[in-house]
Chain A
Amino acid sequence: GAGVSQSPSNKVTEKGKDVELRCDPISGHTALYWYRQSLGQGLEFLIYFQGNSAPDKSGLPSDRFSAERTGGSVSTLTIQRTQQEDSAVYLCASSLKRPQGETQYFGPGTRLLVL
């Protein structure tokens, strides 16, 4: 596709429910990143994929968060047993090859609200 796409664009869920957020990177981009951005805050790195493997999961806040990537393309970020503090904009980005030094292109984000 022309850019990074994410779905859903908005998600409202109840505390304790599980949610899945999807990211479609730019075609041909092998590196994929998940970030989150709380209201008025900066970017918080969550995880990065090179192909289907995740060399760096260091930013995942807890074991309720997991992510996978299949076919070197689409990625899904899953949050289990959501909490109110999980409310944020979840951003996905992709870059062409190796992550170091490559320009990251962001999607529009998924706005998650946990009630």
Chain B
Amino acid sequence: RKEVEQDPGPFNVPEGATVAFNCTYSNSASQSFFWYRQDCRKEPKLLMSVYSSGNEDGRFTAQLNRASQYISLLIRDSKLSDSATYLCVSALGQNFVFGPGTRLSVLP
């Protein structure tokens, strides 16, 4: 299994800020990419899949650059409830490889 690396964090931002997370993956054969959110001592939950064309879901925008093996997540107008650890995931078939996560704290 190859590795996924992420910004080490933590990121502490004020409410309303825009924050960007970066991720790189080493397995060029990876087919699918995801961002998961994990709250403290809880299970990871899917935030969004990442497509080559880039995709947006409300305040969240994900981008994929296959040539650079780079994935990003942008959160606009951050809310207190966005505080969590964000996990970058690459997958080959059903083999999911998780990054170490980047912790985000949104401050009032």
Q: Determine if chain A interacts with chain B.
A: no
Q: List residues of A whose CB falls within 8 A of some B CB.
A: none
Q: List residues of B whose CB falls within 8 A of some A CB.
A: none
